[in-house]
Amino acid sequence: MNTYESVRTENIACPLGCERSDRILLTGRDVIHGLPGEYTVVQCRQCGLIRTNPRPSPGTISFYYPDDYGPYQDADTRGAELKEGSLPLWKRVFRFLVRYNTACLPRIAPGRMLEIGCAAGNFMHRMRGEGWEVEGIEFSPVVAEKARSKGFSVQCLSLEQALPYRQPFDLVVGWMVVEHLHDPVFALKKLAEWTRPGGWLVVSVPNAGSLEARLFKDSWYALQLPTHLYHFSPRTIRKLLECGGWRVERVFHQRVLSNFIASVGLMLRKRGQLPLIANALVSYPDRAGRWDLTIFPFAYFFSFWGQTGRMTVWARKAND
């Protein structure tokens, strides 16, 4: 396991090929796990893409992914194989009326799906129940083994290092993954090569162009330095996907305020105020549950104006 002393940093240019012309936005630390190190966030003056730079190298960044890293935690998958049509009518109506847009997918017939950053395989479990043939890629050996124990084929490599697949995919998904990639353009081009003509890519990313990102700055929960290497706005995620061989079809602003609530907690914690309340707010994204439904009207309002802290993006493979 890496230690902080073994972490090596690298200074990289904008992945969209811009000349070096950056402005410093802020300097911050790991506020989720309290691990050491200070990192700078810069914005390319030419294209507007925001990135962490310098950043931990691919070979040493695992130090910032401890075993209690949130997405690595397993979850109960009982009942995940219930198809939409088999749900009670009231649940189907409820799902239609209350759409959080967190993992919304285009309506396509089941085929072959690849999940990047599949963690313990919970989403693959759900999609297998819908009739999909699924495979995954996961960076963490411990978590990849959890997915394999459920019967899934999982490459335990970074996406940049992953080996090609023999059969093309109809759908590729990645939930809060693209911001973690060291070489996102190269990775997106690989995904395009592995996808059939007209196939879909669906990803979710934090929205660095949102009100909460501007308001909380280094206390923004979704900043998550230094594991988040890129920080996208709707405009820059579109540019990145186009550069990687994808055509953006839709951008959904997620109807949740988890990041906002946790950011309030981080701000209070930074100021040393109301520690019990601060800690409860910071942990909100991991235990939101029905509270997300309670504040759904507020989240809906902010999402209508594109001001919630998360986006889901649909893209299709561009014509060769």
pLDDT single digits (tens) 302-318: 999 999 999 999 999 98
Residue of higher predicted confidence among 119 and 88? 119
DSSP string across 205-254: EE-TTSHHHHHHGGG-GGG-TTT--EE--HHHHHHHHHHTTEEEEEEEE-
Percent of the chain exceeding pLDDT 90 equals: 78
Task: Please check whether residue 171 is in contact with residue 192, taking contact to mean a CB–CB distance below 8 angstroms.
Answer: no
pLDDT at 71 over 90: no
Task: Please check whether residue 38 is in contact with residue 47, taking contact to mean a CB–CB distance below 8 angstroms.
Answer: no
pTM, whole model, 2 decimals? Answer: 0.91
pLDDT at 215 over 90: yes
pLDDT at 159 over 60: yes
Q: Report the chain's mean pLDDT, rounded to a whole number.
A: 90
Predicted confidence at residue 300, as pLDDT, reads: 92
Q: How many domains does the chain have?
A: 1
pLDDT at 82 over 50: no
- Tell me the C-alpha distance between 159 and 289, whole Å: 31
pLDDT at 122 over 60: yes
Q: Which of 88, 167, 101, 180 is nearest to 135 (CA)?
A: 167
Task: Please check whether residue 156 is in contact with residue 214, taking contact to mean a CB–CB distance below 8 angstroms.
Answer: no
- Tell me the C-alpha distance between 61 and 233, whole Å: 24
pLDDT at 48 over 70: yes
Task: Give the burial class of 283: count Cβ atoms within 10 A of its Cβ; 0-12 exposed, 13-18 middle, 19 or more buried.
Answer: middle
Mean pLDDT of 244-266: 95
Task: Please check whether residue 185 is in contact with residue 240, taking contact to mean a CB–CB distance below 8 angstroms.
Answer: yes
Question: Could you tell me the CATH number of the domain that includes residue 160?
Answer: 3.40.50.150
Predicted confidence at residue 89, as pLDDT, reads: 64
Output the six-digit token pair for 184: 């996102």
Q: Domain limits at 240? A: 4-317
What band does 91 get if pLDDT is binned at 50, 70 and 90?
low
Mean pLDDT of 265-286: 91
What band does 199 get if pLDDT is binned at 50, 70 and 90?
very high
Q: Of 197-211, 242-256, 269-283, which gets the smallest average pLDDT?
A: 269-283
Predicted confidence at residue 96, as pLDDT, reads: 61
Task: Please check whether residue 169 is in contact with residue 114, taking contact to mean a CB–CB distance below 8 angstroms.
Answer: yes
Mean pLDDT of 12-28: 95
Task: Please check whether residue 229 is in contact with residue 52, taking contact to mean a CB–CB distance below 8 angstroms.
Answer: yes
- Tell me the C-alpha distance between 213 and 205, whole Å: 13
pLDDT at 194 over 60: yes
Task: Please check whether residue 252 is in contact with residue 101, taking contact to mean a CB–CB distance below 8 angstroms.
Answer: yes
